[in-house]
């Protein structure tokens, strides 16, 4: 008998961060081959559509991840995407229903289960299934309950030890290109940099970076220290590098796959304001 496979169905604009976290948690608990999620499982040379269809056929459990915009997102002509028969989420749900797959809708941040009346007719059957809540404020306990439920469906833990998972801010969204451009327009000297990541996380991370120069080494160290209260208040921790009279600040949001979010723009603005409290280095030119 083939090992059970969970298929994670989601919309990027609605639940990309939470879906990646869910898939990673399943993989760490039941093994890498226990879950399929398109961005992690499909290789560059693969036929995208064929791999999704193959995984759907092989799946024993389909997990539609439903956030607040899952039902309402529209295409460029302002038509609901869920109504489009060529939409991948539409096709995934329709296939799961037609093949009588076990379906467990994952409801994020207290999103209600869609009613049959709100869904296109071919997908209305999903409303019969009871959804499972993954709440921001109880992510770890809800996730533990979900993984225990998956054991009842035949999934086998790779290790007997219980895994403790961090709590991502699943309601965060990656900045759009326009939001990032507008934000950087208000932050002179900041730039977008691709950086290598450590083992066990995505190969690259996207950071917002800037190097600040100070009049002395003491000022550079004080600058980092005085940033700590705001960093702790936001619970958003930057990568800081000090070389003599300079401090390089690197900001990224691991909750959404090491990409920029509104938290990075907010913290960058705080560093800008904090820098004004320190004297300029001798010989610097005001701009």
Q: Which pLDDT belongs to residue 199?
A: 44
Q: Which pLDDT belongs to residue 164?
A: 61
Q: Which pLDDT belongs to residue 54?
A: 86
Q: Do domains 6-152 and 177-275 have the same CATH topology?
A: no
Are residues 134 and 18 in contact, defined by beta-carbon separation less than 8 angstroms?
A: yes
Q: What is the rounded CA–CA span in Å between residue 22 and residue 8?
A: 8
Q: Which pLDDT belongs to residue 200?
A: 44
The residues facing 233 across adjacent strands are none
For the record, the structure tokens of 181 come out as 């451009």
Q: Residue ranges of the domains in the chain? A: 6-152, 177-275
Are residues 88 and 70 in contact, defined by beta-carbon separation less than 8 angstroms?
A: no
Could you give phi then psi for residue 32, rounded to 5 degrees? -60, -30
Could you tell me the pTM of the whole model? 0.62
**pLDDT (tens place) for every residue of the chain, 287 residues total:** 578 999 999 998 888 888 888 888 899 899 989 999 876 444 444 455 677 888 888 899 999 999 999 999 999 999 999 999 999 999 999 999 999 999 999 999 889 999 999 999 999 999 999 999 998 778 888 898 999 999 999 999 987 666 665 666 666 778 888 999 999 999 999 999 987 655 444 457 899 999 999 999 999 999 999 999 999 888 888 999 999 999 999 999 887 878 899 999 999 999 999 999 999 887 654 33
105-131 burial: b if 16+ Cβ within 10 Å, else e: bbbbeebebbeeeebeeebebbeebeb
Contacts of 253 (CB under 8 A, 6+ apart): 172, 174, 236, 259, 260, 261, 263, 264
> Which top CATH class is 6-152?
alpha beta
Q: Which pLDDT belongs to residue 231?
A: 92
DSSP string computed for 53-73? HHHHHH-SEEEEEE-TTTTT-
Helices 177-185 and 262-275: angle between axes, nearest 10 degrees? 10
The residues facing 213 across adjacent strands are 246
Q: What is the rounded CA–CA span in Å between residue 87 and residue 19?
A: 18
- CATH number assigned to the domain covering 177-275: 3.30.1360.20
């Amino acid at each position: 008998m083939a090992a059970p496979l969970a298929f994670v169905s989601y919309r990027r604009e609605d639940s990309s961060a939470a879906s990646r976290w869910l898939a990673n948690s399943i993989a760490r608990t039941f093994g890498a081959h226990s879950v399929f999620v398109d961005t992690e499982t499909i290789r560059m040379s693969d036929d995208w559509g064929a791999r999704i269809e193959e995984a759907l056929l092989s799946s024993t459990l389909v997990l539609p991840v439903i956030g607040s915009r899952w039902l309402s997102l529209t295409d460029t002509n302002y038509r609901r995407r869920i109504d489009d028969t060529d939409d991948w989420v539409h096709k995934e749900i329709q296939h799961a229903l037609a093949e009588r797959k076990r379906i467990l809708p994952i409801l994020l941040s207290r999103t209600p289960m869609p009613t049959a009346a709100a869904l296109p007719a071919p997908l209305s059957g999903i409303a019969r299934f009871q959804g499972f809540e993954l709440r921001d404020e109880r992510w770890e306990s809800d996730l533990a309950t979900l993984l225990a439920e998956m054991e009842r469906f035949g999934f086998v833990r790779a290790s007997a030890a219980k895994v403790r998972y961090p709590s991502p801010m699943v309601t965060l969204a990656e900045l759009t290109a326009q939001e990032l451009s507008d934000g950087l327009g208000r932050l002179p000297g900041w730039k977008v940099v691709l950086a290598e990541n450590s083992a066990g996380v995505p190969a690259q991370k996207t950071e917002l970076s800037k190097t600040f120069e100070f009049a002395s080494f003491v000022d550079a160290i004080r600058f980092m220290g005085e940033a700590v209260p705001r960093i702790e208040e936001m619970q958003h921790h930057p990568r800081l590098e000090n070389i003599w009279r300079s401090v390089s600040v690197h900001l990224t949001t691991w909750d959404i796959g090491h990409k920029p979010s509104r938290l990075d723009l907010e913290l960058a603005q705080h560093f800008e304001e904090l820098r004004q409290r320190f004297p300029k280095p001798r010989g610097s030119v005001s701009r």
